[in-house]
Amino acid sequence: MPEGKELYMLMLRRMMLIRKFDETVKDLVQSAELVGMAHCYIGEEAVAVGACTALRDEDYITGNHRSHGHPISKGGDVRRAMAELLGKATGYCKGKGGSMHLADFDIGILGESGIVGSALPVAVGAAMGSKMQNNDRVVISFFGDGASNQGACHEAMNLASIWKLPVIFLCENNQYAVTTSFKDTVSTENVSDRATAYNMPGVLVDGQDVMAMHEATVHAIQRARAGEGPTLLEAKTYRYEDHSEGLNRILREPYRTEEEVEFWRQRDPIDIHSKWLLENDVASQEEIDKVQHDVYEAIGDALQFARESPYPDEADLFTDMFADPIPLR
């Protein structure tokens, strides 16, 4: 597990990777090279990066439709992610999942679910599996303020609590479920206030501060590995883009003010972390610029790889349906 400067620079790199990946995704949607829906993580990078850099490779995560940030934060392969978004056979899911369904089971990424809230019970089950196999692996389940109202979320928290499972429920509260403000839909002041209903700690964290995210997650992981059970972390964050790319073109009425968006742009997580690195003499501007440069190259390379990769074949339609295949009908 990296620590000190190695860790802080890793955080910078991964946040920059997510930022550049999703800025590229924006362009691809604009030019219609990327089809279907894309939900950008821009503005929220510190949440997943702070959290996932506290995990080991063999620990697990589950996530949701706003999926690109989670696998990149856990060390996923941006080439395979980009190829998946373009529907190519070299993608993570052989082109069968797309943007909302990235997964990398080799590094414990048990999948991003397009149905919000739907992956929380799955995360609980993975934690059950860890406990039964005595391997002290933990699970982080990423979900949003919108998903925190789903029944599955509450059932999952109750199960995790009664069975003292090593799962961290990490609510990425970007304050809107599509266009609906969490203030109008969540019955408590904060999502983390719901933790008391499930007899677990509820911790509110500044989601724009990657170091604060990391620290809060480290504590929750320690709790989990010690057999003390689940934690509900709530990261207050903000998405600078629309819910999904292109939504602004069809919205009939604005759901947030330009002032509000601007306020949160002033709290850009990459700027905050860069400033911290400089002010604390951890890194120089040259070193930061180098990371940025390397990231641009990596994403450029990923895009080229994705573009040059082949599409899957018609023959692939029925592969991967079953581990023990059955005759086609």
Binding site for another protein (CB under 8 A): 60, 62, 91-97, 101, 103-106, 110-111, 113-115, 118-130, 132-133, 137, 139, 151-152, 155-156, 158-159, 162, 319-324, 326-327, 329
Q: By C-beta, is 118 or 180 nearer to another protein?
A: 118
Q: By C-beta, is 9 or 167 nearer to another protein?
A: 167
What is the C-alpha to C-alpha distance for residues 67 and 235, in angstroms, rounded to an integer? 16
Smallest gap from Cβ 142 to another protein, in A, equals 14
Q: By C-beta, is 297 or 316 nearer to another protein?
A: 316
What is the C-alpha to C-alpha distance for residues 324 and 267, in angstroms, rounded to an integer? 50
Smallest gap from Cβ 285 to another protein, in A, equals 41
Tokens of residue 66, six digits: 């706003």
Smallest gap from Cβ 39 to another protein, in A, equals 16
What is the torsional sign of CA 95, 85, 56, 203?
A: negative
Q: In sequence order, which ranges of the chain are alpha helices (DSSP H)?
A: 4-30, 45-52, 69-73, 78-85, 119-132, 151-162, 182-185, 210-225, 258-265, 269-279, 285-308
Q: By C-beta, is 31 or 133 nearer to another protein?
A: 133
What is the C-alpha to C-alpha distance for residues 184 and 155, in angstroms, rounded to an integer? 22
Q: By C-beta, is 26 or 96 nearer to another protein?
A: 96
Q: By C-beta, is 110 or 177 nearer to another protein?
A: 110
Residues 6+ apart with CB under 8 A from 148: 117, 171, 173, 186, 191, 194
Smallest gap from Cβ 201 to another protein, in A, equals 20
Smallest gap from Cβ 130 to another protein, in A, equals 7
Smallest gap from Cβ 221 to another protein, in A, equals 17
Half-sphere exposure of 38 (CA within 13 A, CB side): 28
Beta bridge partners of 321: none
User: Residue 67: helix, strand or coil by DSSP?
Assistant: coil
